[in-house]
Amino acid sequence: MQMGEIDTERVICALAEIPDNGSRGFTLGTGDWPLRGFLVRVRDEVRGYVNRCPHAGHPLNLEPHRFLTHDDSLILCCSHGALFEKQTGYCVAGPCAGESLESVALEVTDGYVTVAADWLLGQVDAF
Ligand code: FES
């Protein structure tokens, strides 16, 4: 379905729904293997990652939409404490130091955050 120029099946949320310097989880798609990911807001930019830790493959959060350390400076995996840079997803401390979260390519159109169509096509078999 199209909403103006936006493919609504790729819409995650409105940009305004992500708190300044905060995070927001999402599930996109249906069936047994939807895409589970999260967004982080860094000033005027937004980054997206698959919600799967490179250490043991667990989801990073325990509570909905809570993916960051208390000071909102880093992404935290609640399973074993790995810490990741918000801008890059690179693990700076913990059991998977030196590895990275899988990025989700995003587009922001008319104030809505969507998964990039090309990225989603490349992931069809992965979720
Ligand atoms: S699963 Fe994330 S640190 Fe172990």
pLDDT at 45: 92
pLDDT (tens digit, 9 = 90+) per residue, 28-62? 988 888 999 999 998 889 999 999 999 999 999 99
Question: For residue 94, what pLDDT band results from cuts at 50, 70 and 90?
Answer: very high
Verify whether ligand 1 is closer than 6 Å to residue 52 (CB atom): no
CATH number at residue 33: 2.102.10.10
Report the separation in Å between the CA atom of 59 and the middle of ligand 1, taken as the mean of its atom positions.
8
DSSP annotation string for 25-44: EEEES-SSS-EEEEEEEETT
Q: What's CA 54's distance to the chain center, in Å? A: 14
Q: How many domains does the chain have?
A: 1
Question: Does any domain span residue 126?
Answer: no
Give buried/exposed letters for 81-99 (b at 16+ CB in 10 A, else e): ebbbbbeebebeebebeee
Question: For residue 124, what pLDDT band results from cuts at 50, 70 and 90?
Answer: low
Q: Which domain holds residue 29?
A: 2-118
pLDDT (tens digit, 9 = 90+) per residue, 63-83? 999 999 999 999 999 999 999
Nearest atom within ligand 1 for CA of residue 60: 2
DSSP three-state, residue 58: coil
Compute the chain's Rg from CA coordinates.
14
Verify whether ligand 1 is closer than 6 Å to residue 58 (CB atom): yes
Amino acid at 102: E
Question: Does any domain span residue 52?
Answer: yes
